[in-house]
């Protein structure tokens, strides 16, 4: 919660930065959008403080949670520091405005290298660069060039390139053709939400922000004020984000057990929260997962 | 300023009905660009079906293969501009991507020559052509002249490049006005502006402001606003919640293809480019060189684009009959081209539609 500084402006409390400085790993739940001026966006501040440059969302179909798609198993990796979200805008003359999309070799190389490393570490087959370099020849062209360069140095991983519009067209017809996707900021914003929709929405989708100086994993759904405090919430998104975190921390066996327990409970369908189609409480759903985790020891 | 705008809008409403106020039996000339690959076959299908319907349309075929000018550069043949100048309406099949330098992009040249500012794609689920979604019935309206596709890019220093997204009040107002007029003319309920004004406060902010302004002047149509990422998230979970969507260039590029995917892909999706000085309707699939000339092509996308064209020209009754015949044939499932899951030839599929069109007289 923002605190008022000596200058009267609201700032994030220093303890968040102190803590992350020490732990280097964070897990974050949903934050309410604050009303009122002078509030520093927490996401932006954290991203800058820890150089969180890659937003990673694994999207995997969840058995027992039906969507129009089965067997989705892809990962979107979004460059998270520049591109269309550089925040540089100008009024040229009255009625004419422009915004700047900035692409650098440094950021593009960095996220491309992360994508290939991620693919290798997670036994993924193919990395696809998503772009519009036919239209944005310099910016997306540079991004693509960097991806190609990194692909050359990682020949054990397959590399493809695809136009963003073609990806979207194909994604809704057959998402199983996709594996790891890497792309600049805006495209990643769109595609990561599109893919979350394919597997059932933000309530079940994990997310991780990887930085040079740390990582923060988070659920990306809202705060659901209408059911807050009523033991009705679905912890799946935050739990799967925590599972991503465990893998990042080198604790894969725990990640595996917890993830499997979670998926088993959803597949069995006996104890499900309201949004998953059941009528159990959050605590009951949680306890069921705990039970399975203990059993799997 | 407001008076000029209102007057301009009044005058522009007339072209929506056909710039010459002919009765439905007076014939109108349309520029036809058959295109490459399967283009000629599917264009012929459209002509045959129009004939069967008795549509008062005459075709002026134009070949747009680039010609070498005196300066050695390849240019589009002047006759395409001559023809469109006269007819003001065009129907275009797929064009092959040319290899070699000096070629002027036809799409770009046409867009500039006729100020084609709005790209319109109605996406409606087709009974008999199964996709993961049913009951999709939405329209994407994409601003097609500026935004992220302004083509202005620079190298700042080595390893740092930028590209400029330009948004103007003029273009935003124009496409917003078109979106509401389209909604009214086509009995649509709601126009939703799709944007990222939370991030791009000035550019998308201006676009949104213009949409809101036009919404105020069109209170008979509902107006909503939604972030692009939220639209995508919701679109793949429940596309039936969407009606008419209006948005800047890049978002339109993405969403129009996404929505085409929902109903079965580019092979069945119509598309229209509306301008101040004319309109061009086109199929947006490829030339399919592997089946070109083999009587295997599916003319649905081009046909449905031609149906859009008939409505634009004020020939709705013909549009209705042809569209219904096409949908009936697909629903009945007896005569379908390969991509639709059948084994009929293009000519057989075409003839079946012609038959139904004649029956519906």
| Best B107, B153, B242 residue to mutate vs chain A (most A CBs within 10 Å) | B153
Query: What average pLDDT does this structure show over A283-288?
Result: 97
**Residue A163 structure tokens:** 């136009």
pTM assigned to the model: 0.91
Euclidean distance between CA atoms B18 and B20, whole angstroms: 5
- pLDDT on residue B1: 58
Q: Smallest CA–CA separation between A10 and chain B, in Å?
A: 20
Tell me which residues of chain A, numbers 120 to 139, contact chain B at a CB-CB cutoff of 8 Å: 132, 135-139
Q: Show Cβ contacts of residue A202 under 8 Å, excluding neighbours closer than 6 positions.
A: A193, A196, A219, A220, A221, A222, A237, B233
Decide the pairing of beta strands B116-124 and B272-275: antiparallel
Report residue B323's pLDDT band, with 50, 70 and 90 as the boundaries: very high
Query: What average pLDDT does this structure show over B11-39?
Result: 71
Mean pLDDT of chain B: 91
**Residue B338 structure tokens:** 């390969």
B166/A contact by beta carbon, under 8 A: yes
CA B36 to chain centre: 18
Query: What average pLDDT does this structure show over A214-231?
Result: 94
Enumerate the β-bridge partners of residue B227: B195
pLDDT tens figures, A39-97 = 446 777 788 888 899 999 999 999 999 999 999 999 999 999 999 988 899 999 999 99
What is the number of H-type helices and E-type strands within chain B?
A: 11, 14
**Residue B60 structure tokens:** 């002026």
- pLDDT of B101 higher than 70: no
pLDDT tens figures, B258-270 = 999 999 999 999 9
Report whether B143 contacts B175 (CB < 8 A): yes
Q: Which is more confident, A38 or A225?
A: A225
Q: Smallest CA–CA separation between B344 and chain A, in Å?
A: 23
pLDDT tens figures, A112-158 = 999 999 999 999 999 999 999 988 999 999 999 999 999 999 999 99
- pLDDT of B169 higher than 90: yes
CA A98 to chain centre: 28
Query: What average pLDDT does this structure show over B96-109?
Result: 61
Query: What average pLDDT does this structure show over B43-69?
Result: 94
Contact A196 B233 (CB under 8 A): yes
- pLDDT of A181 higher than 70: yes
Tell me which residues of chain B, numbers 225 to 254, contact chain A at a CB-CB cutoff of 8 Å: 228-230, 232-237, 250, 253-254
Query: What average pLDDT does this structure show over B198-208?
Result: 95
- pLDDT on residue B275: 95
B98/A contact by beta carbon, under 8 A: no
**Using the 8-state DSSP alphabet, how is residue B221 labeled?**
S
- pLDDT of A175 higher than 50: yes
Q: Smallest CA–CA separation between B306 and chain A, in Å?
A: 22
Please count the CA atoms within 13 angstroms of the CA of A43 that sit on its side-chain side. Answer: 17
Contact A135 B153 (CB under 8 A): no
- Residue closest to B63 by CA, chosen among B26, B36, B42: B36
Euclidean distance between CA atoms A279 and B69, whole angstroms: 73
- pLDDT on residue A32: 77
B130 burial level (CB within 10 Å; 0-12, 13-18, 19+)? exposed
Euclidean distance between CA atoms B44 and B34, whole angstroms: 8
- pLDDT on residue B149: 87
- pLDDT of B15 higher than 50: no
Euclidean distance between CA atoms B226 and B339, whole angstroms: 35
From chain B, the residues in CB contact with A100 under 8 A are 162-165
Which of A101, A186, A194 has the CB atom closest to B236's CB atom?
A: A194
**Residue A229 structure tokens:** 């405090």
Report whether B314 contacts B17 (CB < 8 A): yes
- pLDDT of B18 higher than 60: no
A255-A258-A260 Cα angle (round to 5): 100
Query: What average pLDDT does this structure show over B123-130?
Result: 95
Helix/strand/coil percent split, chain B, to 5: 45, 20, 35
Contact A98 B166 (CB under 8 A): yes
- pLDDT on residue B103: 45
Contacts of A96-99 with C-beta under 8 Å, sequence gap 24+, read A96/B166, A96/B167, A96/B168, A96/B169, A97/B166, A97/B167, A97/B168, A97/B202, A97/B203, A97/B205, A97/B206, A98/B164, A98/B165, A98/B166, A98/B167, A98/B202, A98/B203, A99/B164, A99/B165, A99/B167, A99/B200, A99/B202, A99/B203
Query: What average pLDDT does this structure show over B199-214?
Result: 96
- pLDDT on residue B85: 93
| C-alpha dihedral sign at B253, B255, B261, B264 | negative
Report residue B277's pLDDT band, with 50, 70 and 90 as the boundaries: confident
- pLDDT on residue A43: 76
Euclidean distance between CA atoms A7 and A29, whole angstroms: 29
| Region label for B116, one of left (φ > 0), alpha (ψ between -120 and 50) or beta (otherwise) | beta
**Residue A16 structure tokens:** 């968040």
| C-alpha dihedral sign at A175, A179, A183, A189 | positive
A90/B contact by beta carbon, under 8 A: yes
From chain B, the residues in CB contact with A189 under 8 A are 196, 228-229
Q: What proportion of chain B, given as a percentage, has pLDDT over 70?
A: 91
From chain B, the residues in CB contact with A200 under 8 A are 237
pLDDT tens figures, A232-283 = 999 999 999 999 999 999 999 999 999 999 999 999 999 999 999 999 999 9
Q: What proportion of chain B, given as a percentage, has pLDDT over 90?
A: 80
Q: Which is more confident, B98 or A90?
A: A90
Number of other CB atoms surrounding residue A93 within 10 Å: 7
């Amino acid at each position: 919660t923002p605190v008022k500084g000596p200058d009267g402006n609201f700032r994030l409390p220093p303890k968040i930065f102190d803590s992350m400085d020490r732990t280097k790993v964070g897990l974050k739940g949903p934050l309410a959008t604050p009303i009122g001026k002078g509030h520093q966006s927490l996401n932006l501040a954290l991203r800058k403080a820890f150089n969180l440059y890659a937003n990673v969302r694994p999207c995997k179909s969840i058995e027992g949670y039906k969507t129009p798609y089965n067997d989705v198993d892809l990962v979107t990796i979004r460059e998270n520091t520049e591109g269309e979200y550089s925040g540089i805008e100008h009024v040229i003359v009255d009625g004419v405005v422009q915004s700047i999309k900035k692409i650098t070799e440094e950021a593009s190389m960095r996220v491309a290298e992360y994508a290939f490393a991620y693919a290798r570490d997670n036994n993924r087959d193919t990395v696809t660069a998503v772009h519009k370099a036919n239209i944005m020849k310099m910016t997306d062209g540079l991004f693509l060039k960097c991806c190609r360069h990194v692909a050359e140095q990682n020949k054990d991983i397959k590399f493809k390139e695809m136009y963003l519009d073609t990806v979207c067209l194909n994604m809704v017809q057959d998402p199983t053709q996709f594996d790891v996707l890497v792309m600049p900021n805006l495209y990643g914003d769109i595609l990561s939400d599109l893919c979350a929709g394919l597997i059932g929405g933000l309530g079940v989708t994990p997310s991780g922000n990887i930085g040079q100086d740390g990582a923060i994993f988070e659920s990306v759904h809202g705060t659901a004020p209408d059911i807050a405090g009523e033991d009705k919430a679905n912890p799946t998104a935050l739990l799967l984000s925590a599972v991503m975190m465990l893998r990042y921390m080198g604790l894969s066996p725990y990640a595996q057990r917890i993830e499997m327990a979670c998926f088993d409970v959803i597949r069995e369908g006996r104890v499900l929260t309201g949004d998953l189609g059941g009528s159990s409480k959050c605590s009951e759903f949680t306890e069921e997962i705990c039970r399975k985790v203990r059993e799997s020891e």
